[in-house]
Chains A and B, each alone.
Chain A
């Protein structure tokens, strides 16, 4: 596998400009003849589809929801970063770039991150022009807040629903192009494979989720905007349908999968309440501004919170990190919570949480003031748990939230398969080993509005793309394989539901490849997962038929892919014999228990290559070089 990142030369601040000038252009009259398939309609997919159609390409966009507006980008709460420096507090493109590279623990590609920081500015302009109702000050200017520990206020937000508002902006742009005929939309279509002709990606095979029709769609290029794989853990803050299948199917056809072990665990989610739990709900990180995190000092202390005297409480973040305390970064806060729960000091009926206590803040400021700040979050918490945070401390626990790993892409966002691009959370490019708050929305829109529309033109302008008919032998071949797999799922006629396998897989990955990982645990996972996969194919039960709306069949197909991809996560975690960002190997920590990177051996992206069913994947390496930000040890003491 050849990994040419295609990074333009020159000083970093000129690279994107120079590259755009050097890229080949497509004659406007020819754009209509060039077709692009976009899979996914979240921030990245919708913005890319709309923008490419505006440029004149013939775009088809596929999504598995009933409407493109439902993609999981919609659930992002916090905000979107941009180096506007509207607050005059010293922000700049370079500072956003610097913070992102450092926040990613020096495991991202500098050139991509710099471009992201540059483009961030245009994103806000674009969204405002579309009518995105960002928060404003009384003077009518846009409001900003500081988010995720950033020392400047560069986060734009729309109450706690920034993702929703940005997605609706992109969805509206997409709707406009659908009306104008630039985009043909295929809702309720799930992509089940990619089609390669002469080594280039020329289409996809989809299943119509209403009538079950499996068929090919061909194009001159394919863009995957299919999100991340947090649902490998089964329980995560992702929506239920989020899955890795599109990326994984592409991987099996030759697209390198980079850094699958980089996953982000968000520290403030509502703990699991029972085995029936279907997903986890995130509570905004802002709660840590006024809440104090604690657990009982003694293990198995069953007294209610109110009856545990101060002397028996351990405010462990304040104790370990006197200066950052309860506001310690996400990965640190998460890991410490896991430690105390593993010691048996967890709280709640399942002893699987820690307290986030507002009693002091309420005593100091009064309940109304706290209600004003967090009222809607408190209500949301009470709705889910039946407990009022005004009366007893909240219980929180970390949960999988975002995945930094994904399909390897070059500077042009093209995967190792020519003609197959990956944007948004589906690619690996910008966040390194850890993503900063309010950066996911920024990256999705940067890729979709401002990067892919240019770089795809450069690819298409090179030509050599003879039309591929939808009944081409290569299409029929892939269709056959897709149909065979569906049949295999439907005829396994076992005893267990797909979800039961998914839960079991999630438990293994969470235990062995979650917030803290070690060699023995990962090796154990690498034994268990293939065995589980084998059982799945023999013992899964999928009722109904293929030619129908069949939600169990959809689920089973996705679980089957997680059973392969989850193994690769563990393999990558085992191989990366260092700690960095969201990847914490217990063997590699500083004397103070922090992540210890090994830049000598691991300053690279690990790009895994599919070698065949049940074969160990081959690792390829893209070395990372840092010219502008010198790697250093993070410290939050």
Chain B
């Protein structure tokens, strides 16, 4: 199939950036979306032009590297997939496709479609862990964990940190990302001692990074490639209210 692409090109963080139009020719319907970009890039390189910079790595939907807004939707209109899992058979010959980077002040564009998502790492660094040193663990089965709790914690823990939630949110809010980690640890007994300190520190960092607030649109959970539920946001709200209003022993 042949396609017309409008791709955001931006030489660096200080460049204004603009859309450029490209024609992708003879693309197999079995190719993935990123493979389509690979083909285009190889053509550009052969012509001595700079290829379109975009991030990607595992190409199987788990590393969280890839992410672009395709025709106005982060990753894809298809539910629960990443950009790399999108295949060309969901397009038709002659389609026009708009490709933009994830947009958020907290995710500055580095080049073309590559954005800096290190704000997520800094949120995790503020408390997204259990403070346990290597070697001081008790036997793994010493604390039984109800299967339902373990499963709910796992559902939150499947977050791949891609940032699609931020990209999709009209407020560029990082609540789904932050709440997924807060809930993953908050649902497990191991996470209890630091539960309230954690939520306060992580939310404070999230605000400081300049993400917007949550207005409960639910756009994040629709865009999430792992279908993480906004119920975790409600959970985080509760933990924060408890921490701020009632105080907590782990101060």
Contact = CB atoms under 8 A, between A and B. Distances in A.
Given A129-B132, A133-B157, A139-B144, A240 B45 contact: no
23 contacts: A50-B134, A51-B134, A66-B55, A74-B160, A75-B63, A84-B140, A129-B130, A129-B138, A131-B191, A158-B157, A175-B128, A176-B129, A179-B125, A239-B57, A240-B58, A273-B28, A277-B31, A278-B38, A279-B60, A384-B32, A541-B46, A549-B111, A552-B51
Nearest to B159: A168
B209 interface: no
Interface in B108-132: 110-111, 114, 116-118, 120-121, 124-126, 128-132
A276 B190 contact: no
Given A75-B58, A187-B121, A549-B12, 6 more contacts: A65-B57, A130-B190, A133-B154, A276-B35, A278-B38, A384-B87
Interface stretch (A159-167, A260-268, A402-410, A620-628): A159-167
Given A126-B134, A133-B157, A172-B129, A70 B140 contact: no
Contacts of B32: 278, 384
B215 interface: no
B190 to A, nearest CB: 5
Contacts of B246: none
Contact of B64 (A69, A129, A173, A187): A69
A142 B140 contact: yes
Interface in A145-173: 158-159, 161, 164-165, 168, 171-173
A610 to B, nearest CB: 29
Given A72-B57, A549-B111, A54 B157 contact: no
Contact of A125 (B50, B138, B144): B138
A276 B28 contact: yes
Given A240-B57, A551-B51, A273 B30 contact: yes
B184 interface: yes
Interface stretch (A359-367, A461-469, A495-503): A495-503
A74 B62 contact: yes
A67 interface: yes
Interface in B36-66: 36, 38-39, 42, 44-46, 48-51, 53, 55-60, 62-65
A278 B37 CA distance: 11
Nearest to A126: B137
Interface in B127-173: 128-141, 143-147, 150-151, 153-154, 157-158, 160-161
A28 interface: no
Contacts of B85: 383-384
Nearest to A496: B46
Contacts of B21: none
Contacts of B60: 75, 279, 281-282
Given A70-B57, A240-B57, A273-B30, A136 B147 contact: yes
Interface of A: 47, 50-51, 54, 65-70, 72, 74-75, 84, 86, 122, 124-131, 133-142, 158-159, 161, 164-165, 168, 171-173, 175-176, 178-179, 185, 187, 210, 239-241, 273-274, 276-279, 281-282, 383-386, 449-450, 453, 495-497, 499-500, 541-544, 548-549, 551-552
B141 A142 contact: yes
B63 A72 contact: yes
B130 A133 contact: no
Most buried by A among B44, B117, B131, B157: B157
Contact of A543 (B51, B111, B117, B147): B51
B125 A178 contact: yes
Contact-residue bracket for chain B: 35 or more
Contacts of A179: 125-126
Contact of B140 (A47, A128, A542): A128
Nearest to A158: B154
B219 interface: no
Nearest to A125: B137
Which 6 pairs from chain A and chain B are nearest by CB?
Answer: A140-B144, A172-B129, A129-B137, A133-B154, A125-B137, A128-B140
A497 B44 CA distance: 10
Which residue, of A84, A128, A140, A552, has the highest number of chain B Cβ atoms within 10 A? A128
B185 A176 contact: no
Contacts of A67: 64, 117-118, 120-121, 161
A541 B48 contact: yes
Nearest to A160: B62
Contacts of A453: 134
Contacts of B50: 543-544, 552
Contacts of A273: 28, 30-31
Nearest to B133: A54
Contact of B114 (A72, A136, A549): A549
Residue of A122, A178, A549 ringed by the most chain B CB atoms within 10 A: A549
Contacts of B130: 129-131, 172
A385 B30 contact: yes
Nearest to A279: B59
B30 A135 contact: no
Contacts of B136: 129
B153 A141 contact: no
Contacts of A276: 28, 31, 35-36, 38-39
B29 interface: yes
A549 B42 CA distance: 17
Contacts of A68: 121
Contacts of B146: 136, 138, 140
A54 B132 CA distance: 10
A97 to B, nearest CB: 20
B188 interface: yes
B207 to A, nearest CB: 17
A128 B65 contact: no
A468 B135 CA distance: 32
B42 A497 contact: yes
Given A67-B161, A383-B87, A552-B45, A124 B140 contact: yes
B189 to A, nearest CB: 9
B91 to A, nearest CB: 13
Given A140-B147, A176-B131, A241 B121 contact: no
B140 to A, nearest CB: 4
B12 A386 contact: no
B147 A75 contact: no
B81 interface: yes
B228 interface: no
Nearest to A178: B125
Contacts of A65: 57, 63, 65
A383 B57 contact: no
Contact of A128 (B28, B134, B137, B151): B137
B42 A274 contact: no
B244 interface: no
B199 interface: no
A124 B157 CA distance: 17
Contacts of A84: 140
Question: B51, B125, B134: which has the most chain A beta carbons within 10 Å?
Answer: B134
Contact of B129 (A69, A173, A383): A173
B158 A70 contact: no
Contacts of A159: 154
A139 B31 CA distance: 45
B45 A541 contact: yes
Contact of A551 (B53, B116, B145): B53
A128 B190 contact: yes
